Chain A
Amino acid sequence: MVNENLVKDVVKEPYKYGFVTDIETEKIEKGLNEDIIKLISQKKEEPRFLLDFRLKAFKKWQKMKEPDWAALGYKKIDYQDIIYYSAPKQKEKISSLDEVDPKLLETFDKLGIPLTEQKKLTNVAVDAVFDSVSIATTFREELAEHGVIFCSISEAVKNHADLIEKYLGTVVPASDNYFAALNSAVFSDGSFVYIPKGVTCPMDLSSYFRINSGDSGQFERTLIIAEESSSVSYLEGCTAPMFDTNTLHAAVVELIALDDASIKYSTVQNWYAGDEEGIGGIFNFVTKRGKCLGKRSKISWSQVETGSAITWKYPSCLLLGEESVGEFYSVALTNNLQQADTGTKMIHIGPKTKSTIVSKGISAGNSKNSYRGLVKIGTKAAGSRNYSQCDSMLIGDQASANTFPYIKSQQPNSEIEHEASTCRISEDQLFYLQSRGIEFEEAVSMMVSGFCRDVFNQLPMEFAAEADKLLALKLEGSVG
Chain B
Amino acid sequence: MQSKMKESDPILEVENLSASTDNLPILKGVSLTVYPGEVHAIMGRNGCGKSTLSKIIAGHPSYIITNGEIKFLGENINSLEPEERSQSGIFLGFQYPIEIPGVSNLEFLRVSTNARRKFLNKEELDTFDFEELVKEKLEIVKMDQAFLSRSVNQGFSGGEKKRNEILQMALLEPKIAILDETDSGLDIDALRIVASGIKRISNSQTGIILITHYQRLLDEIKPNYVHVMSDGQIIKTGESDLALELEKKGYEWTDNFIKET
Contacts and interface: CB of A to CB of B under 8 A. Distances in A.
Interface of A: 1-3, 423, 426-429, 431-440, 442, 446-447, 449-453
A426 B98 CA distance: 10
Given A431-B82, A432-B100, A450-B103, A438 B111 contact: yes
Chain B, interface residues (CB within 8 Å), range: 20 to 34
A433 B100 contact: yes
B102 A450 contact: yes
B29 interface: no
A435 B111 CA distance: 12
A432 B104 contact: no
A3 B101 contact: no
A451 B102 contact: yes
Interface of A is mostly: helix
Contact of B58 (A1, A435, A452): A435
B107 to A, nearest CB: 8
A1 B60 CA distance: 11
Interface in B42-72: 58-62
Contacts of A439: 81, 83, 115
B151 interface: yes
A124 B104 CA distance: 32
A439 B82 CA distance: 9
B184 to A, nearest CB: 18
Contacts, number: 82
Contacts of A440: 81, 83
B86 A423 contact: no
Given A433-B112, A450-B151, A452-B102, 17 more contacts: A423-B101, A426-B98, A429-B98, A429-B100, A432-B94, A432-B98, A432-B100, A434-B83, A436-B108, A437-B112, A437-B116, A438-B83, A439-B81, A447-B100, A449-B102, A450-B101, A450-B104
A3 B81 CA distance: 11
Contacts of B97: 432
14 contacts: A426-B98, A432-B98, A434-B82, A435-B59, A436-B86, A436-B108, A436-B112, A438-B115, A439-B83, A440-B81, A450-B103, A450-B104, A450-B151, A453-B102
Nearest to B93: A435
B87 interface: yes
B115 A437 contact: yes
Interface string B70-100: 0000000000011101110000101001111
Nearest to B88: A437
A101 to B, nearest CB: 46
Contact of A434 (B81, B94, B103): B81
Contact of A427 (B58, B62, B94, B119): B62
Contacts of B39: none
A429 B96 CA distance: 11
A452 B101 CA distance: 11
A126 B94 CA distance: 52
Given A428-B98, A447-B102, A447-B103, A434 B59 contact: yes
Nearest to B64: A2
**Which of the listed residues A436, A437, A442 has the most CB atoms from chain B within 10 Å of its own CB?**
A437
Given A429-B98, A440-B81, A435 B104 contact: no
Nearest to A453: B102
A206 to B, nearest CB: 28
Contacts of B119: 437
B168 interface: yes
Interface string B16-39: 000000000000000000000000
B92 to A, nearest CB: 5
Given A437-B83, A438-B111, A431 B61 contact: yes
A131 to B, nearest CB: 39
**Which of the listed residues A3, A432, A436, A449 has the most CB atoms from chain B within 10 Å of its own CB?**
A436
Contacts of B60: 431, 435
B151 A2 contact: no
B172 interface: yes
A429 B153 CA distance: 11
B26 to A, nearest CB: 16
